[in-house]
Amino acid sequence: MTDAAPRLAALAETLLGAPLPVRIRAWDGTEAGPETGPVLILANRRALRRMLWKPGELGLARAWVAGDLTVEGDLFELLDRVGGLLWEREPAPAPTTLPGGPAKLAALRPFLPARAGGAADAAVLLRDPDVRAAVRELVTLARPWAAPAPPPEEAPRRGGPAHSKGRDRQAISHHYDVGNEFYEHVLGSSMVYSCAYWTPGGTLEDAQRDKLDLVCRKLGLTPGTRLLDVGCGWGSMALHAAREYGVSVTGITLSREQAAYARKRVADEGLTDRVEIRIQDYRDVKDGPYDAISSIGMAEHVGADRYREYARTLHALLAPGGRLLNHQIARPPEPDEEAHRIDEFIDAYVFPDGELSPLGTTVGELERAGFEVRDVESLREHYALTLRAWVTRLEDHWEEAVRLTSPGRARVWLLYMAASALGFEHARLGVNQVLAVRPRTGGAADLPLRTRTWGAA
């Protein structure tokens, strides 16, 4: 057979209800679709089998991670073109998990024709005779008909209730305990895994330093302040606060590899008298009160059902007048907030059990816990720039990243970060710094009148 690509292109247009936005190349060397732009490559028939055995996002993700589905050319452009199939129709369902959203390979899910409004169930679509014929043709092309095993990079099935302490430890380990050297290649010398704060002409390292300093200024840190850094990562915030502001810092993480790395950095900088790094769940911290709490990119792991507990726990750990800086990714609100859709790719390969909430929900829960919310700042465009910088670093260090982890793991991070960048650029995702205060008796918050200067020159 020497016509696989034209047949696949015709089938894709039937199932998508729109012209194919990218060129495809099949395992037999044939090509079809637009002459210019990136090429989506089906390296073998197994790519089709993965999509047919698991229709939708997870099947496509498995094909990508396994290398059965690859891209030649600009990945950002391909994802943007494919994502346009959804964005140009009715609004796509907002993601309820960590970055990704509709702007990724999930946009090519096999059962998503335009005439079905972009969200119909496969069983309903199969009543359409054209769809049934297309699926039969795909089955023919995909033979032999055996279910491929999931790639080894897929998170194992988790036990216990979501966001229990044990299950949270498993989820954090899956994401972060993949080797500190791998993250050095992706994140650079700053070793900060959250949105940077960019100024024109600045480097990634400059932008991450400026973000950490912004957090310190918002928290009003001064020598002698006692700071709790929740989800401290590799210790960058703790080190910056101790070194530049003379504070005493307790950093907590559930990742053993992060903790070991952070403790070495603390020792190397001679700051062991000011910085303590613990492997500890935020629910187990009992040595408050603290004068300030930073939570940067951690609350996404908490879970919607646990968020009120999270907010109340941090409120209880703060002294009256203490400040919380909560830096968190958000999703747009859904028309029906009861409709909770888990992003299969993110859940299976990136952030198991991760969840995002709308900004309004986060602010409301903080207020219910007793906080007074004093400032909200959106950094959405800054995160798109940060993710593009990480993608560049990953591509520049591709061979080292593969050697340190696996080809599949490197492909997971490439897709996740590229798709997330587009999600922020197209306002499918947001990220916000929320400054909240535990008021003193009588309501005093001890904040400057001109808060947005944050003590900067």
In the chain the first and final C-alpha atoms are separated, in Å, by 69
Quick: pLDDT tens for 407-455.
999 999 999 999 999 999 999 999 999 999 999 988 888 888 876 776 6
The chain-wide mean pLDDT, for the chain, equals 85
Choose from 49-63, 84-98, 123-137, 425-439 the range with maximum mean pLDDT: 425-439
- Domain coordinates in residue numbering, the chain: 4-73+109-142, 165-453
Per the model's pLDDT, the better-predicted residue between 58 and 231 turns out to be 231
Residue 446 backbone dihedrals phi, psi, to 5 degrees: 60, 40
The predicted pLDDT at position 286 comes to 96
Task: Give CA 241 to chain center in angstroms.
Answer: 25
- Quick check: 296 and 237 in contact, CB under 8 A? yes
The predicted pLDDT at position 338 comes to 46
Quick: pLDDT tens for 109-135.
333 333 333 334 445 555 677 777 877
CATH class of this structure's domain 165-453 = alpha beta
The predicted pLDDT at position 85 comes to 63
Quick: pLDDT tens for 273-321.
999 999 999 999 999 999 999 999 999 989 888 999 999 999 999 999 9
Q: Is 340 a residue whose pLDDT tops 50?
A: no
Model confidence at 342, pLDDT cuts 50, 70, 90, reads low
pTM score above 0.95:
no
Per the model's pLDDT, the better-predicted residue between 453 and 374 turns out to be 374
